Amino acid sequence: MAPATKTAEVDMLVDAPEQALETLGRKYHSKLRMIDASGDSLSDGVVVPALREAIVEGVLAPGSRLSEVQVAKQLNVSRTPMREAFAQLEREGLVTVVARVGAFVRSVTLRDVAEIYTVRMALECLAVQLCAENITALGRAQLEDVIGEMRASVAADDPAAYVDALDRFYSIVMTLADNRTLQATQASLMGPVRRLRRIAMARGGRMRASFEQAVKIKDAICTGDTRVQDLMREQLHGACEAATAVLNETEG
């Protein structure tokens, strides 16, 4: 896929993204202060998570060129960890690396939405089924707790906080499903999945609809309801439709 449109092929990031990247760099550097920050740890511990967050949150626009020199400066790292970080983000589907040209923030297409939600349907419907089969008292308490966070975010009309809580909800479900292969496969999709979640939440009414369905899923897991896979399927259909509608409106 072409990495950028003519207007998006820029070497320099605008002031707001520059400042945001510097802030993210400080955030992730602080987590490494007690660690020997070798080139590898800087790539995994600073560059990848900082750029991933910036892309997922829309700080870096689709099509933006990521200058190796400039991003390294903004994140306060040398150029050594940059190449591996770009390769990792390309594997996650967040950037496109063009030989002898550079790295570009990957655009989200309607095909991406369809493919990712098809895979999510298979993975997460299985996850909630396994979760319902393996549920414990501690698991029920964890799900109730995160549902409380989601409820508070809806009441505050805070989509960013809601998506963070929703991420935690799915993380708990995957942990309780207790299948390492399933967890690893789902983890490989998390960058694009989080990006699509934030796109979907831009659709009016999606946050409340997502929350109400999540409550039904939580109840079905906790009671061992055999409809749990159907409820998850409904949740993902709604999210897919919302993300598709947002992209269609943007392109229109």
1 belongs to a structural domain:
no
Residues 72 and 117 in one domain: no
With vertex at residue 1, the alpha carbon angle to CA 98 and CA 243, rounded to the nearest 5 degrees, is 125
- Looking at the structure, do residues 115 and 222 belong to the same domain, yes or no? yes
The domain boundary residue, chosen from 105, 134, 155: 105
Residue 191: the pLDDT is 87
Query: Would you say residue 128 lies in a domain?
Result: yes
Residue 126 CA to residue 134 CA, distance in Å, equals: 12
62 shares a domain with 136:
no
236 is a domain residue? yes
CA distances from 217 to 179, 211, 220, 241 (A): 19, 10, 5, 19
Residues 93 and 120 in one domain: no
Contact yes or no for 140/222 (Cβ under 8 A):
yes
pLDDT tens, the chain, 252 aa long:
444 433 333 333 444 778 888 898 888 888 776 655 454 578 888 999 999 989 988 899 899 999 999 999 999 999 889 989 999 999 988 999 998 888 999 999 999 999 999 999 999 999 999 999 999 999 999 999 999 999 999 999 999 899 999 999 999 999 999 999 999 999 888 888 888 888 898 888 999 999 999 999 999 999 999 999 999 999 999 999 999 999 998 765
Would you give the DSSP letter of residue 202? Answer: T
- Report residue 83 CA to chain centroid gap: 21
Q: What DSSP line would sit under 36-50, residue for residue?
A: ---HHHHIIIIIHHH
Residues 88 and 119 in one domain: no
Q: Do 114 and 100 have their domain in common? A: no
Q: Is residue 247 part of a domain?
A: yes
Per-residue pLDDT at 29: 84
The pTM of the full predicted model, rounded to 2 decimals, is: 0.80
Q: Is residue 94 located within the same domain as residue 127?
A: no
CA distance 147 to 162: 10
Rounded Cα distance between 197 and 191, Å, is 10
Q: 146 and 97 share a domain?
A: no
Looking up residue 101, the CATH number of its domain turns out to be 1.10.10.10
Residues 142 and 37 in one domain: no
| Number of structural domains found in the chain | 2
Task: Verify that 126 and 246 share a domain, yes or no.
Answer: yes
Evaluate whether 143 touches 169 at the Cβ level (below 8 Å).
Answer: yes
Q: What are the φ/ψ torsions at residue 220 (nearest 5 degrees)?
A: -65, -40
The dihedral through the CA atoms of 123, 128, 132, 135 has a sign that is positive
Same domain, residue pair 18 and 115:
no
pLDDT score recorded for residue 17: 77
Distance, in Å, from the CA atom of 161 to the CA atom of 58, rounded to the nearest integer, reads: 15
Residue type, 174: M
Token output for 179:
């299948």
Based on the fold, state whether residues 54 and 24 are members of the same structural domain: yes
Look at residues 105, 140, 156 and tell me which one is the last residue of a structural domain.
105
Domain region containing 148: 110-251
Q: Is residue 238 part of a domain?
A: yes
Q: What is the pLDDT of residue 39?
A: 47
**DSSP 3-state assignment of 64?**
coil
Which residue, 80, 72, 112, 73, is CA-closest to 93?
Answer: 112
